[in-house]
Amino acid sequence: QVQLVESGGGLVQPGGSLRLSCAANGRTFSNYAMAWFRQAPGKEREVVAHVMRSGGRTYYGDSVKGRFAISRDNAKNTVSLQMNSLKPEDTAVYYCAARQGYGDFAPHDYPYWGQGTQVTVSS
């Protein structure tokens, strides 16, 4: 089992950047594929980005392609999300998630979740 703790959220102006981090405990972090999801008020939770165990392959939701980048450091048990060119519609609670198996990029495919961190994009 893995426990996840996000950090780095906050208030940023449109067009700005923000970097989220997720720290995982445990000695087998490299056994987990990692992802970032987000959920805005009144909307379903959606995948933002996913990175495979080795960090070599990534997946991005259509709305963030070209603006966001996911990365992981298996030596430090961390996964990060660099968010650039932020828009008001990026405002949401961002969650770090993990899984050991394979599946789609739906919330139910990830058994492990952090508590979330708020990102607000507003002038």
pLDDT per residue over 20-70, tens digit each?
999 999 779 999 999 999 999 999 999 999 999 988 899 999 999 999 999
Interatomic CA distance for residues 106 and 44, integer angstroms: 11
- pLDDT of amino acid 62: 96
H helix and E strand count, the chain: 0, 11
Residue 70 CB coordination number (10 Å): 21
How much is the average pLDDT of 3-25?
Answer: 97
Q: Which residue has the tokens 């660099």?
A: 82
How much is the average pLDDT of 76-96?
Answer: 98
Q: Any bridge partners for residue 35, and if so which? A: 50, 97
Q: Are 96 and 113 in contact (CB under 8 A)?
A: yes
Residue 29 dihedral angles phi and psi, to the nearest 5°: -55, -35
Supply the mean pLDDT for the chain.
95
Using 50, 70 and 90 to split pLDDT, how confident is the model at 87?
very high
